[in-house]
Copies of this chain bind each other. A is one copy, B any other.
Amino acid sequence: MEENLRALLTAVREGSLDVEEALRRLGEAGFVELGFACLDTGRAERRGFPEVIFCPGKTPDQVAELFSRLAVSNPNLLATRATRRVYRAVQQAVPEAEYSPTARLAYLWRERPVQPRGMVLVVSAGTADLPVAEEAALTAEVMGSRVERLYDVGVAGLHRLLGRLDRLRQARVLVVVAGMEGALASVVGGLVARPVIAVPTSVGYGASFRGLAALLTMLNSCAAGVAVVNIDNGFGAGYLASLINRLGD
């Protein structure tokens, strides 16, 4: 944006652009808009993060078009909650695009960090939490993090978790995915000195109220250092974990 502004101001200075015309351009396009659009364009560059397409409510063709446009200037790319049908449209437009049916992610992963140092550990309580956990893990990977997975370590069998304390403590940031009563987040939070992103899932029966029980559990965690994202929002957790992880590189 600064460049655009400089060019415009220079043209005014040099007399190749008169004040009223400059004013009109700024007004027409919207100065603010120009500014933010500029930042927007610059965002992927500075962050090294791909733009993310949220698929629900878009047709396969719309997703494919957005995907192929973004693919021009972004090595990595994510489309979340993608059905297989959406993926087929994407793939036709961008043959390199990959797909994880478990994580419901269509993605482009052309650029991988040579040597990422920090590790994001995705921990999940039960097998039914897998789709959400994978969405978190793959999101973080495509965004450049090294990710490890520690699945099916719910608190009903605490030894499975306690037996991997080392791995828990090697992580730079942890994503904890759990449904039902969601107690895993508190237990993990009490064992490590790193940020924990908790993801409640809608897995559960009766009074789990589609994830509300796990959500409340996690928000009320007695262990400090835990924050929560929306129910089933694996993408949000993976995205945030990656933002945090890169701070350490």
Contact = CB atoms under 8 A, between A and B. Distances in A.
A70 interface: no
A12 interface: yes
Contacts of A211: 206-207
A2 B217 CA distance: 33
Majority SS at the chain A contact face: helix
Contacts of A229: 219, 226-228
Interface string A192-219: 0111010010111111111111111111
Interface stretch (A15-23, A83-91, A105-113): A15-23
Interface residues of A, number: 112
9 contacts: A2-B23, A9-B12, A9-B23, A36-B163, A58-B128, A156-B222, A173-B244, A197-B227, A244-B247
Interface of A: 2, 5-6, 9-10, 12-13, 15, 18-19, 22-23, 26-37, 39-40, 43, 46-47, 49, 52, 54, 56-58, 62, 118, 125-128, 130, 154-160, 162-166, 172-173, 180-183, 186-187, 189-191, 193-195, 197, 200, 202-233, 235-237, 239-240, 243-245, 247-248
